[in-house]
Amino acid sequence: GAGVSQTPSNKVTEKGKYVELRCDPISGHTALYWYRQSLGQGPEFLIYFQGTGAADDSGLPNDRFFAVRPEGSVSTLKIQRTERGDSAVYLCASSLMVGSYEQYFGPGTRLTVT
Amino acid sequence: DAKTTQPPSMDCAEGRAANLPCNHSTISGNEYVYWYRQIHSQGPQYIIHGLKNNETNEMASLIITEDRKSSTLILPHATLRDTAVYYCIVSPQNDKLIFGQGTTLQVKP
């Protein structure tokens, strides 16, 4: 079946611009996670949704970052006033909440801020 | 910060067993040990998890010490396609994953 998909696969933007990154989780998965990965580092947790609500947003670095999941399926990560330090691969993962231990990751969106 | 410690890199000969260690001395009673791997330019992939008992699946075996302070991931017959970064993570079920630096496993012909 279809896995987690993320669009776009690559995004280049100028410093100060606004960007949106999209995640389509596996159908029926109620939990959705966003991580970001800088070069040479392990993924870093950003935010976790259970259904439509953010269950844990403790990883968002500052108020320029915001994420939504209005219908409990697709999620969008929004970054305002981008900075060069935001350049990274943004990963999305989804999982079943009940009886599941595995998070399924998408291929990521590579964001480059010039 | 990650609650696990792993060696930064390891080599393994193709066809041999790869044994990847992980220390998690501060693990809590409700935390599982998870292993994920990340092949270059791909998202992480789940391998296996365990709580107290040793576990085996089609990909690997997980050996957890009795005191749960350390574990070993075993790939019984490593292939070149097993070359990846392997992450050991401790976390409650259905919670965020806190990744460390992982172990870069290089399988050599």
pLDDT at B47: 98
**Cβ-defined contacts of B49-56 (< 8 Å, 24+):** B49/A101, B49/A102
pLDDT per residue over A17-76, tens digit each? 999 999 999 999 999 999 999 999 999 999 999 999 999 999 999 999 999 999 999 999
pLDDT at A23: 98
Please report which helix (H) or strand (E) contains residue A93, including its range. Answer: strand A88-95
Q: Using the beta-carbon criterion (under 8 Å), do B99 and A42 form an inter-chain contact?
A: yes
Task: Provide the phi-psi class of B44: left if phi over 0, else alpha when psi is between -120 and 50, else beta.
Answer: beta
pLDDT at A99: 64
> Does position B7 have pLDDT exceeding 90, yes or no?
yes
Angstroms from A85 CA to nearest CA on chain B: 19
pLDDT per residue over A68-92, tens digit each? 999 999 999 999 999 999 999 999 9
Burial class from Cβ neighbours inside 10 Å (0-12, 13-18, 19+) for residue A51 reads middle
Quick count: other Cβ atoms within 10 Å of Cβ B55? 17
What lies within 8 Å, CB to CB, of B58 at 6+ separation is: none
Q: Contacts of residue A93 in chain B, CB cutoff 8 Å?
A: 43-44
pLDDT at A97: 75
Q: Using the beta-carbon criterion (under 8 Å), do A56 and B100 form an inter-chain contact?
A: no
pLDDT at B1: 67
Torsion of CA A62, A92, B5, B55, to 10 degrees: 150
Quick one: pLDDT band at residue B13, thresholds 50, 70, 90? Answer: very high
Q: Using the beta-carbon criterion (under 8 Å), do A106 and B94 form an inter-chain contact?
A: no
Quick one: pLDDT band at residue B94, thresholds 50, 70, 90? Answer: confident
Task: Provide the phi-psi class of A69: left if phi over 0, else alpha when psi is between -120 and 50, else beta.
Answer: beta
Question: Per DSSP, which regions of B1-109 are E strands?
Answer: 9-13, 18-23, 32-38, 45-50, 55-56, 61-64, 70-75, 84-91, 103-108
Separation CA B10–CA B79 (nearest Å): 14
pLDDT at A2: 85
